[in-house]
Structures are given as structure tokens and as C-alpha cells.
Amino acid sequence: MQDPAQRLVALAELGETDPAGIASHRAEGDALAMEVGGDPGLRWRIAVLRSLIASPPDDDAVRELYGELVDRYRDDPTRLAQLRPLGDEIRRLESEGVLASTLVARSPRSG
């Protein structure tokens, strides 16, 4: 039996190899990412975002998740830097018309 961090890393690896496979493990992976946090949690969340970029379920999904991740890691420059290339990729795909260009309004976080 794998501990939660090992299981999360295994799920992230699965998603990195087969982005379409993320959907069937999303609930488990999201719960583990909340429990484990740290680098494994970020790795899972990036794998999920990449799976949405590859096959967005709706026009807002990619931008919404990206915005949530930026909010979550706003005070962590190292992890935020890992997200920036994904934001660049999203903007590029939007400008090419591959992804729908949407504006997601987010309220400021208190804390």
C-alpha cells in the first residue's frame, strides 16, 4: 500500500504520461493534493491543468484552474514561477484560437 504522497506522485506520473487518464482519477488526486501539498500537490495540479489544456471540457475550465493555481501559490515565488510557463502557453493557444479566450473575474483573497 502506498502512502498518500507516493500515491499522488503515481497519479501525477499517470497524468503526465496520459493526460486523458486524469479525469478518472481527478477526485482522488485532488483530495490527495490537498492532504499532501508541497511539490507532489503542485505536480498533480500541473498535470490536471495540462490535461485541461489538451482537452478543455468548456471554455472557462483552463483559465479558471490556472487562476485558482495562481491564487493558491501567490505567496510562493518558486512555485508561482513553475506556473508562469503554463500561463504563457495558455495565452499563446488563445491567440492561435486553439483555446477560447475568456476572462475570469476573481475576487481578492483575504488572509
pLDDT in tens, 14-59: 999 999 999 999 999 999 999 999 999 999 999 999 999 998 888 7
- Residue 69's nearest CA partner among 57, 54, 52 is 52
Q: How confident is the model at residue 104 (pLDDT cuts 50, 70, 90)?
A: very low
What residues does each domain of the chain span?
4-95
Extended strands (E) in 1-111:
none
Instruction: 82-86: list long-range contacts, CB under 8 Å, 24+ apart.
Output: 82/42, 82/46, 83/46, 86/46, 86/49, 86/50, 86/53
Cell numbers describing residue 68: 485558482
> What's residue 108's pLDDT?
59
Q: How confident is the model at residue 80 (pLDDT cuts 50, 70, 90)?
A: very high
> What's residue 110's pLDDT?
54
> What's residue 6's pLDDT?
96
DSSP code, position 96: T
- Determine the 3-state secondary structure of 93 from DSSP: helix
2 against 89, higher pLDDT: 89
Q: What percent of the chain has pLDDT over 90?
A: 75
What global pTM score does this model have? 0.85
